[in-house]
Amino acid sequence: MNGAATREHIVEAADRLFYQRGYEHTSFADIAAAVGLSRGNFYYHFKSKDAILDAVIATRLAGTRHMLRQWENEHPTPSGRILRFVEIVLTNGPDIQQYGCPVGTLNTELAKLGHTMRGQARELFTLFRDWLREQFTELGHADQADELAMHVLAFSQGVAVLSHAFADEEFVRREVSRMRDWLSTYEK
Amino acid sequence: MNGAATREHIVEAADRLFYQRGYEHTSFADIAAAVGLSRGNFYYHFKSKDAILDAVIATRLAGTRHMLRQWENEHPTPSGRILRFVEIVLTNGPDIQQYGCPVGTLNTELAKLGHTMRGQARELFTLFRDWLREQFTELGHADQADELAMHVLAFSQGVAVLSHAFADEEFVRREVSRMRDWLSTYEK
DNA sequence: GGGACTCTAGGACGGTTGTCCTAGCACCGT
DNA sequence: ACGGTGCTAGGACAACCGTCCTAGAGTCCC
């Protein structure tokens, strides 16, 4: 098999497992079993577990950038784009209910571990924060764009944590509706 | 030394360490070192790590119940009590910034581990949820009391996650102020 | 003084962790 | 046919994990 393809498979499996079970609770053996490789052979592709995490975060960053660019194409207005972000807790509802927010839970875990790669995980948040800020700026609220961006981000994290804890879909729907109303007061 | 006192010291140290480093990332050796006991001797007081977690959660539940009762004494009006809860992200600001919300992070971790004690950790959330619901009911919004309680809970979790990730105190202050305004629209 | 009870230290156990090493497979251009 | 390269399997490694066991302090009551 192609080496680059195997590497991609590893990152893919690690990404999923890190999200579902957490970084620390996922062992090399788990990833190896998921990909179908022998445990020891791993070090040909990645020289440490941190290196896999590094690749996983890089993949997520690239994927997020791609998604945001796609949202910009699909929704012409900034308020439509912000709403698209808000609704992520619905479109990804089942995953969030089972595993929480991939960005939030990773940040929380790495912070508690005192992990070196904490800063790069935070970059995932920053990506959304900057993008949301741009949308609010375009909406004509440049003066408080960052504050509003953080508010929307806080909404998504709060909903994700409680959806994860209580598995209550109706709650998520109500919060989104509440957010939609709030957002409409900021439209031009 | 008294055995009951030692047991209390263990729970105390475990409580702190579980909060600061996470449950899984805290080993018996860590707790033993913190209390000043030998590793093996632990099993005289607790027959398993889960048993310690059980005791820690029980302690937190009791402590939370005590705190809520105290808030009821200190604040005569339901809106004052709700505001007291909202301001917890300020009064516990430094801890939350460093380690996140003790309730939220524990729930998230135990859920990812698929831990048996997940249900008892959720009870910590339920305690606040029920208490907030009572306050909103007393405020004259019995019909949507639970929804409002969950909204306030979501606020606290969202703020905690982002405060933990970005260590931005000003953001917390702004969100609290925003919440104060929202709350005032529900006062009698 | 002697036995029972409470509490402790220290080490042994089997298993798992991340890491590393080596031997060998398949395929390549020459 | 052949040496080199890319990739793999399998096991060894030291360290750590949660768990368990035993021997012995210290203290109390009879």
H, E, C per residue of A52-84: HHHHHHHHHHHHHHHHHHHHHHHCCCHHHHHHH
Please indicate whether the domains covering A1-47 and A57-185 agree at the CATH topology level: no
Task: Indicate the domain borders of chain A.
Answer: 1-47, 57-185
Nearest CA distance, B66 vs chain A (angstrom): 23
Higher per-residue pLDDT: A79 or A6? A79
* Alpha-carbon span B46 to B97, nearest angstrom: 32
Residue A3 reports pLDDT greater than 70: yes
Q: What does the alpha-carbon distance between residue A181 and residue A138 come to, in Å, rounded to a whole number?
A: 19
- Which residue of chain A is at minimal alpha-carbon distance from B151? A175
Residue nearest to nucleotide D19 (CA to C1'): B48
Enumerate the residues of chain B whose CB falls inside 8 A of the CB of residue A111: 99-100, 164-165
Tell me if B162 and A153 make a contact (CB, 8 A cut-off).
Answer: yes
Strand C contacted by B3 CB (< 7 A): yes
pLDDT at residue A41 is higher than 90: no
CATH tag, B57-185: 1.10.357.10
Q: Is the pLDDT of residue B1 over 60?
A: no
- β strands within chain A, DSSP E: none
- The pLDDT score that the predictor gives to residue A186 is 86
pLDDT tens digits along B128-146: 999 999 999 999 999 999 9
B91 touches strand C (CB under 7 A): no
Residue nearest to nucleotide D9 (CA to C1'): A38
- pLDDT at residue B188 tops 80: no
On strand C, nucleotides with any atom < 7 Å from a protein CB are: 6-12, 16-22
CA distances from B28 to A135, B36, B54 (A): 49, 12, 15
Residue nearest to nucleotide D17 (CA to C1'): B27
Q: Is the CB of A27 under 7 A from strand D?
A: no
Q: Give yes or no for residue A101 having a pLDDT over 60.
A: yes
Strand D contact at CB of residue A44, distance < 7 A: yes
Average the pLDDT over B156-182 and give the result: 97
Report the range of poorest mean pLDDT among A19-23, A161-165, B46-50: B46-50
Q: B-side interface with A, Cβ within 8 Å?
A: 20-22, 24-25, 99-100, 104-105, 107-109, 111-113, 122, 125, 147, 150-151, 153-159, 161-162, 164-166, 168, 171, 174-175, 178
Query: Could you give the 3-state DSSP secondary structure of residue B155?
Result: helix
Distance of residue A108 Cα from the nearest chain B Cα, in angstroms: 7
Tokens 């007393």, residue located = B138
Helix (H) or strand (E) holding B100: none
Q: Which nucleotide is nearest to B44 (CA to C1')?
A: C7
B113 CA: distance to closest CA in chain A (Å): 6
The average pLDDT across A124-147 equals 97
pLDDT of res. A38? 86
Strand C contacted by B5 CB (< 7 A): no
Which site among A27, A89, A127, A161 would you substitute to test the B interface, given the most B Cβ atoms closer than 10 Å to its Cβ?
A161
pLDDT greater than 70 at residue A1: no
The contacts found for B62-71 with CB under 8 angstroms, 24 or more apart, are B64/B124, B64/B127, B64/B128, B65/B127, B68/B127, B68/B128, B68/B131
**Nearest residue of A to residue B125, measured between CA atoms:** A165
pLDDT tens digits, one per residue of B43-54: 899 989 999 999
Superfamily of domain A1-47, CATH level 4: Homeodomain-like (1.10.10.60)
Tokens (6 digits) for A61 = 């960053």
3-state class (DSSP) for residue B70: helix
Quote the CA–CA distance of A28 and A114 in Å, as a whole number: 20
CB-to-strand D under 7 Å, chain B 18-47 = 26-30, 39-43, 47
What is the pLDDT at residue A134?
97
Q: Report the pLDDT value the prediction gives residue B175, as an integer from 0 to 100.
A: 98
Quote the mean pLDDT of chain B: 95
